[in-house]
Structures are given as structure tokens and as C-alpha cells.
Amino acid sequence: MEIFHPAEILSRDEIAAVQTRRLARVVKRAARSPFYKAKLDEMGVDPESITSLDDLTRLPLTTKDDLRASYPFGMLADEHRELVRLHASSGTTGAPTVVYHTEKDLRTWADLMARCMHMAGMRKEDVFQNIAGYGLFTGGLGIHYGAERLGCLTIPAGAGNTARQIKLLRDFNVSAVHIIPSYALYLAGVVAEQGLDPRDLPPRIALIGAEPHSEEARRRIEEMLGLKAYNSYGLSEMNGPGVAFECEHQNGMHLWEDSYIAEILDPQTQEPVAEGEVGELVMTTLTREAMPLLRYRTRDLTRFLPGECACGRLHRRIDRITGRADDMLIIKGVNIYPMQIEKILLAVPEVAQNYQIVLEREGYIDQIKVRVEIKEEFFIEDMRVLGGIQKRIAGLLRNELLVTPRVELVEAKSLPTSEGKASRVVDLRETKD
Amino acid sequence: MEIFHPAEILSRDEIAAVQTRRLARVVKRAARSPFYKAKLDEMGVDPESITSLDDLTRLPLTTKDDLRASYPFGMLADEHRELVRLHASSGTTGAPTVVYHTEKDLRTWADLMARCMHMAGMRKEDVFQNIAGYGLFTGGLGIHYGAERLGCLTIPAGAGNTARQIKLLRDFNVSAVHIIPSYALYLAGVVAEQGLDPRDLPPRIALIGAEPHSEEARRRIEEMLGLKAYNSYGLSEMNGPGVAFECEHQNGMHLWEDSYIAEILDPQTQEPVAEGEVGELVMTTLTREAMPLLRYRTRDLTRFLPGECACGRLHRRIDRITGRADDMLIIKGVNIYPMQIEKILLAVPEVAQNYQIVLEREGYIDQIKVRVEIKEEFFIEDMRVLGGIQKRIAGLLRNELLVTPRVELVEAKSLPTSEGKASRVVDLRETKD
């Protein structure tokens, strides 16, 4: 096995040893910040007493609200003069959050990112197009620094401007791209509309992340663009991209346990779920200097996958994110995640790229409607054919969700598309309670 | 004098020695590219024969059209596998151009940029907000890498979203910004509209560049925002920002002659202009590995400033860019540069931030009209007062331009503004010939 970094092939014992040593250090470092100093004092936890991984549960959980409340400086565990970067959220839905980095933090992040890219088969010889917004969004600069660390010829293409993206892919014979899943499907559609085969575009590897997507969406991207698509997981609170990534086997994302301790907890009780069950991913940074986070509740739902990966790396694998704890819809008393709906829809051959979930209220009852684009060749005026497709989709959804959504078939390319992250859920209910 | 890099304080003899050595090397390197190999062969120039600075004039001039014609790989002087970055122009006005960088090229660029920032008074302790588009535009990543090299806490704010820019400036007590001149004036206006004093914003230093602007525009920025604004010069063909920069004395931009050889040529004859005369800046890269450029015609008009700077650095200073060779307007047979008009307008106390130059055709005669925003307190209904201002502006413009433009006074904030580069010239002539 070719590796980028020796930490990739640590044994489980070695991982535990590294985690133990780094946990003790990071707790002491976190205790320098106003937030954790107060929190640990309040809980009566002496940082010096954290000496084993079993001590983890004695540490406080940290939430996004904690980050907001301590904006802008409360989480800072470092001298100001060692800081070289900050990333801040837009704060469009509440107070912003901020994450700081020292120069060493940026190096560690770039190394983790390069390790991910290498694991997915990228090499120094690749020409890499980074189709992601730069600036404060961590997906742009995070991936960028990783690609330069790996030594790829990196094209900082940014987001949007599809015609130009396609021109760059072709002109520079781009072999690997970073792209948001819904935009990958959109871009393939634009090429197909020009009467060309998207599979003739040069890339052989796509790194996909930044929005939850189903296995079916990944397979569609692979088929439409004629490449291998590798799932990426990250969040700005844990630097950004580079937390977990798929290897060549594409069977879950190896989470770098030398840099993070991951727990899967029940989002309601905050107790560990049973082995292999889905719950909220909770993470502790082990290497960050400027702003360590202890047991951060990511709100992302996933599970640890059982068994060892054929690649030989022993860092545990997490399943694709099945949604966010906050994304859960409750319809007629049933919990529904949008990702369950996507999974069903994109497995139906007649379905085109786009769909929309519409929530409505009739009287006091919430209704869920799914608007589905049907491929042109199936969208014929024969009501029996369309009726059959509609019934089939409704049945499949009922089996998965345990409620019966209304299904509306629409023509391909009639639903709004976006060059950014797709917004799949439209809530038309007048009040939310 | 505090310096960032020893090359800042080279003597003139040492600069000449470095230039001679590096010129010989860069010509040999350039000759590896298909474009220069063919060009030098055609001119019968043996790269080995370039041994002194006097040999410079034996080398070919290079134009933007040459870059376009050799897109995408014709200028490449390096093995593909050593490349780590490319920046490409949008090619909206013709074929795109591309510039490649090796890892060493990026390091050199960041060093030059950090040297500029340090010379303008920035230090490691500064909090730096980079208000510039990232991605393929070199102004974003170029400045960003320089600030990180210097060790500043860097906020990759990107372009646009003024409310958020202002929030970041305040929340993180930002001490230095990079900002486009017209956007600096716009941002100050937004703060003033909130009933607040833009001078209370924290920054003490602004790096301004990316669009030509007059001394009067700089002074306005300084007064409105209560800071020192330093001119920056660069262009993507010469990496991007970091080519020349003002020192604390703000009297012209020191051009880093250990990395570039600069000539000022007559744009028509390509002969050197007389000492101190305005002409086209022509530059040769001395340190670039991936894509050296020999005697590149920048189209930018400037002159060498006479005498030595009080700061003690002996790298020659260029004057602010007075326009582009392409920007020249010919009205009634007279050459006019938009910057001449800005210079006059912004020195008039009654004039607000914005103005527009409108070109019209009446019959066969081109007319120039200048629409000028007048500050609210002067925009009163008394026609005599407004008439007086109008006459005064028309007189000042006539003296400068030698043609008499029509002057139209408009209310403050009535002309279109932009969050990007200002577009000052509107051409309403039906045909251009």
C-alpha cells in the first residue's frame, strides 16, 4: 500500500497510545481558553487528571451554541500573535462562529487533506481543479492547501461559471476535481445539453462533499461523468475538509483517529449508541493549537462501519452522513430525513437529476409532497405510463418512510437548480411548531 | 530601517549584478518553452550570448497576444510535474491567458508580497482582512499568501457583502485591509449612511490596488476611513500583486529590481522614453521558473520617479499608473485618459464619491460628458450655486484635457455603484472607429 503519511498505517494499539497522549495535552491546552477554563472549573475537572481515554466522558460536550456565545475570542487557547488564519461562518442564522489557526494548525490541516487525496488515488502528477468557493468557506482554501501540499498542479477555479469550469477541465486536461455533488450532476447536464458526452471530460477522480448525498447520487455522478467519486467529510469546526475520506474501496470514510477522537452518541440522551448504530458524531480535536474543541457535537448523523477495510488502514470508517440532527422532519409523528427520500428517488431509472420536498399544512395536518423530475424520454403524454411511474415511486417511498407522500411528476429541468449547494426542502407551512 | 528581506537594501551596483546574473539564467530557462525557443531562433539570438544588461534590447518584446496565441502550454518552461498552480484570465475579451507556477515560484511570490506589506508598515501582530475575490483572480490568493508569510492573522473575507465586511472589521479589530479603491469609498459611504463615522473603523492601514486611481482618490480614502492608504502595483502576468509597492513615504512605488527588470518604452515606437517621461512599463521576470516572460508589454502607463527615496531603499520608484495604453480615449483628436478626469473631480470639495464619463456621438462628432455626484449639503435648489460649481468643474477639466466636456451635476448616490471594480466609462457612440 502506498501511503502519504506514516500515521495512516498505525495499529489500533498505536492509535490508542497516540490518542491518550494527545488527549492529555489538548485538554491542558483547551483549559487556557476562557470558555473551557470556566467550564472545566465548573465541572470540577482538573486538566491534569485526564490521563486515559476513559477520562473522555468526564469532559464537557461542546455545542454550536457554545461557539456562538463565546464569539469572537472566548474559545481562543493561543497567544494572539501566533495566529495566522481565521474562518468565520456567515452567521445568517444566528450569531456567527469563528475558528482560529496557528501556522502549525494550517500545516497539520494541509497534511491531513493531502493524506485524504492521496488515499483516494490522487498523486503529484495530477492536474486538480478546485470547484469550490474560496474565502471564508473552508471547503475552498482547505482543499487548495491540501492539493498544493500533495504537489498537484492546482487550478483555483472557485464556484460557479459552468461554461468556464468546463473549458478549464478540457484545456488543462484536468484529472481530478473537487465538486459539490448536486453541482456535479448539474455540470454533467450542461455538457449533455451541448450534445456532448460528459464521460468524455478528462477527470478520472472526483472528490465530493460539503452536502449530504446518497449512494445513489454518487453512482449517478460516477456514471454520468465516467469517473470515480470519493466521499469527503469535514466541517469548519474541525478545520474543514480532511476529517474523513474514502479510500479506493469506497466503503465508508476512514476518520483520522490520530488527529480526532470520534464518538457516536444518541442525540437525545448523549449516551453512546450501540456498536454500529446511527447517532450523532461527536469529535475532539487532538492536534489543534489555536482552538482545541472537546467533544464537539457535530449534529451530523452517521455510524461506525463494522470490520476492517481491505486497504489495510485501521482508522475506523464512518458511514456517509445520513442527515443532520437538525434536518429531521416530523410528519404525522414520523421522523423523516431528506436523505431517505433521495436514496429512493435516485434509484428509480426514470428519475432525472432534480427533486424537491415540499412541506404543506392542510388544516392542522402536515403533508409531505415530493416533486420529481422525470427524464425526457419517459415524460410522454400517456397518462397510464406516467401514472404507473408515480404509483411505483409512491410505493417505494411509503415502504421507506412509513408515511405516504404525494408524488408529483414534472418535466426534466423544470425545478430550480443551483450552482451552489442544493436546497431540497421547501417548507410552505405557515407556522412551525 | 526595519526590513523583511535583505534584498530590500541592495546598492545600485548590487542590483545590477543580481540582474545581470539572473537575466542570463532566465533567458536560458525561457528558451526551454516552445514560444521563446521559436522566437529566439527566429531572431538569431543565442541564449548563451546574453551576458550583460545591455543585451536586454536584443531580446524580443512579448505581448498579451503572444500569451493568447500560445495558450495553453506554449509559454511553459518547466516540467509539468513541478507545477503546483495556475492562474488563468477569464478570456471574456478574447482567448484566455494562463500563468503557471512551481512551488518555488509561489514561495518567491509570497516573499515579495510580504516584503511589500512590511514596507508599508504591516507586521506579524496585525490582523489583516483581505477584501478581494479569491480563486483564479491573483489579487486574492497572492495577497493572502503574502500575509500568511508575514505571519498576520489573515481573514480571507473575499469580495462583496459589505455588511459582513464591516462586521468582520469591527469584531476582530482588524488593523490592515486590502481593498479596491472604489470599493473603499463605497464601504465608507455605507458606514456613513448608518450614521456612524467611518474613521472609527479599526484599520490603520489600507493596501489599495487592482484598478488605476488618482492621488486625490487615495487622499479621500485616507480621510474618509482615517487611515494610511498605500498603493500597490502588480499584474497576473508578473505573478499578481507584489511587483511594486509604496513605502511609508507614499511617494511612488518601489519596484523590486532584484526580481524584475523594468523598462519604460514609447508605446508606439517601443524605444525608451526620456528619463522621467511617461511611457509603457515593460517587464522581464528574473526569478520565475515555470513561465519566465521576457520584456512583457504591460500596457500600463507610468514613469520612473527621479531621485532617491528617503526610506533608503534604492529600488527605483514608479509613479502611480496613469492609465492603460488601451484605455486612451480620443476626443476631437485629443488623447484623454480617464484618470486625468478623476484627478480633477476628486480635488473639488463639493464632489461626492462617484462620477461617470459618458461618450456620445452627435452627427459625426464625438462628445464627452462627465456626470458628477455632488455632496448632499451642496445639492441645493439654488441654480446659481449649482451653476457656479458646474462652471468651475468645466473650467478645471478644460485646462487639464484641452477639450471642453459637458458637465452634468447629479445628486449624491444617484449613479450606479459597484462592489467590484468601478466601471467609469460609458460609451454610447453607435459605432467606434
Q: Write the single-letter amino acid at A52.
A: S
Residue A157 lies in a domain: yes
Q: What 3-state DSSP class applies to A53?
A: helix
Chain B residue numbers with beta carbons less than 8 Å from the beta carbon of A153 are 80, 83-86, 100
- Is A85–B124 a contact, with Cβ atoms under 8 angstroms apart? no
A265 domain residue, yes or no: yes
C-alpha cell at B321: 499608473
Q: What pLDDT is attached to residue B421?
A: 54
Residue A432 domain-assigned?
Answer: no
* Rounded distance between C-alpha atoms, residue B74 and residue B291, angstroms: 10
Question: B153 CB near a chain A CB, below 8 Å?
Answer: yes
Residue B433 resides in a domain? no
On chain B, the residues whose CB falls within 8 A of the CB of A81 are 124-125
Q: Do residues B217 and B76 share a domain?
A: yes
| Set of chain B residues whose Cβ sits within 8 Å of the Cβ of A125 | 80-81
The closest CB to that of A81, out of B80, B124, B158, belongs to B124
Residues A334 and A322 in one domain: no
- Whether residue B340 sits in one domain with residue B322: no
- Is the model's pLDDT at B418 over the cut of 90? no
Do A379 and A303 have their domain in common?
no
Q: Do B84 and A151 touch (CB under 8 A)?
A: yes
A65 to chain B, closest Cα gap in Å:
18
Phi, psi at B80, each rounded to 5°: -55, -40
Give the residue from B134, B137, B289 with the most A CB atoms within 10 Å of its CB, the best one to mutate. Answer: B134
pLDDT confidence bin for A322, thresholds 50/70/90: confident
Check whether residue A72 and residue A102 sit in a common domain.
Answer: yes
Q: Within the 40-79 window of chain A, which residues sit less than 8 Å (CB to CB) from chain B?
A: 71-72
Same domain, A368 and A302: no
Residue B432 belongs to some domain of the structure: no
**Which residue among A81, A86, A134 sits closest to B135, beta carbon to beta carbon?**
A134
Asked if A85 lies within 8 A of B156 by C-beta distance, the reply is yes
- Which cell goes with A326? 437538525
- Do residue B31 and residue B178 come from a single domain? yes
- Tell whether the model's pLDDT for residue B363 goes beyond 80: no
Q: Which of A141-145, A146-150, B200-204, B410-414 has the lowest mean pLDDT?
A: B410-414
At residue A214, the pLDDT reads 86
A398 shares a domain with A308: no
> Domain of A410: which CATH number?
3.30.300.30
Is residue A433, in this structure, part of any structural domain at all?
A: no
Task: Tell me the DSSP string of B41-73.
Answer: HHHT--GGG--SGGGGGGSPPB-HHHHHHTTTT
Count the domains in chain A. Answer: 2
CB atoms within 10 A of CB A28: 14
Indicate if B196 and B336 belong to the same structural domain.
Answer: no
* CATH number, domain containing residue B269: 3.40.50.12780
**3-state percent breakdown (helix, strand, coil) of chain A, nearest 5:** 35, 25, 40
Q: Which residues of A touch B156 (CB under 8 A)?
A: 85, 87, 134-136, 141
pLDDT score for A201: 97
Chain B 285-314, CB below 8 Å of chain A: which residues? none
B83 touches chain A (CB under 8 A): yes
Provide, as residue numbers in chain B, all residues whose Cβ is less than 8 Å from the Cβ of A83. Answer: 153
Residues in A touching B133 (Cβ below 8 Å): 158
Contact: A135, B151; criterion CB under 8 Å: no
Instruction: Output the pLDDT for position B433.
Output: 41
- Chain A residues with beta carbon closer than 8 angstroms to that of B71: 171
Average pLDDT over residues A360-364: 79
pLDDT number for residue B78: 80
CA angle B171, B174, B178 (to 5 degrees): 130
The pLDDT of A172-187, averaged and rounded, is: 94
Interchain CB distance below 8 Å, A125 and B81: yes
- Whether residue A405 is contained in a domain is answered as yes
Q: Do A171 and B72 touch (CB under 8 A)?
A: yes
pLDDT of B115 over the 60 cut: yes
A262 occurs within a structural domain? yes
- pLDDT, one tens digit per residue, over B197-227 is 999 999 999 999 877 788 999 999 999 999 9
* CB contacts < 8 A (A, B): 96
The mean pLDDT of B91-100, rounded to a whole number, is 80
| Yes or no, beta carbons of A153 and B100 under 8 Å apart | yes
Residue A312, C-alpha cell as written in the block: 489495510
| Backbone conformation region of residue A308, classed left if phi is above 0, alpha if psi is from -120 to 50, else beta | beta
Q: Do B134 and A136 touch (CB under 8 A)?
A: no
Which residues, at least 6 apart from A86, have a Cβ–Cβ distance to it below 8 Å? A98, A99, A100, A101, B153, B154, B155, B172
Report the pLDDT value the prediction gives residue A430, as an integer from 0 to 100: 60
Closest-CA residue of B relative to A91 is B164
| Same domain as A107, residue A156 | yes
Taking contacts as CB-CB distances below 8 angstroms, the residues of chain B near A100 are 153
Contact A147, A120 (CB under 8 A): no
CB contact under 8 A, A84 and B171: no
User: Is A135 in Cβ contact with B156 (below 8 Å)?
Assistant: yes
Q: Is the pLDDT of residue B370 over 80?
A: yes
**Interface membership of B141 toward A (CB under 8 Å):** yes
Phi-psi region of A301 (alpha: psi -120 to 50; beta: other; left: phi over 0): beta
Question: What's the pLDDT tens digit per position in B266-312?
Answer: 988 999 999 999 999 999 999 999 999 999 999 999 999 999 999 99
Q: Facing residues of B179 across strands? A: B208
Is the N-terminal amide bond of B72 cis, ω within 30° of 0? yes
Task: Spell out which residues of chain A touch residue B85, defining contact as CB-CB under 8 Å.
Answer: 148, 153-154, 156
Amino acid A92: pLDDT = 59
**Domain final residue, candidates A327, A360, A386:** A327
Q: Which of A327, A345, A369 is the last residue of a domain?
A: A327
Is there a single domain that holds both residue A321 and residue A332?
Answer: no
A103 close to B (CB below 8 A): yes
Q: A134 to chain B: which residues are within 8 Å by CB?
A: 134-135, 140-141, 156, 158
pLDDT of residue B371: 93
Total Cβ atoms within 10 A of residue B276: 12
Among residues B387, B121, B379, B380, the alpha carbon closest in space to that of B230 is found at B121
Residues of chain B found within 8 Å of residue A84, distances taken between Cβ atoms: 148, 151-154
Q: What percent of chain B is predicted at pLDDT more than 90?
A: 72
Does position A37 have pLDDT exceeding 70, yes or no? yes
Candidates A68, A73, A80, A84: best to mutate against B (most CBs of B within 10 A) is A84
- pLDDT over threshold 50, residue A287: yes
User: Nearest residue of B to residue A101 by CA position?
Assistant: B153
- pLDDT tens-place string over residues A70-121: 999 999 998 777 999 999 987 655 678 999 999 999 999 999 999 999 999 9
Question: Cα B124 to the chain's mean position, in Å?
Answer: 25
B86/A153 Cβ within 8 A: yes
Cross-chain CB nearest to A135 (options B71, B153, B157): B157
Please identify, among A309, A327, A345, the residue that sits at the C-terminal boundary of a domain: A327
Q: What is the pLDDT of residues A121-135, one digit of tens each?
A: 999 999 999 999 999
Domain coverage including residue B25: 1-326
What span, in angstroms and rounded, lies between the C-alpha atoms of B238 and B244? 11
Residue A158 clears pLDDT 90, i.e. is over it: yes
Q: Could you give the ipTM of this predicted complex?
A: 0.83
CB contact under 8 A, A85 and B134: no
Pair A415, A371: CB distance under 8 Å? yes
Residue in B84, B156, B157 nearest the CB of A152: B84
Cα–Cα distance for residue pair B140/B136, rounded to 1 Å = 8
Q: Look at residue B96 and tell me whether its pLDDT is greater than 60.
A: yes
Asked whether residue B321 falls in the same domain as residue B387, the answer is no
Q: What integer pLDDT is reported at residue A326 of this predicted model?
A: 72
- pLDDT band with cut points at 50, 70 and 90 for residue A433: very low
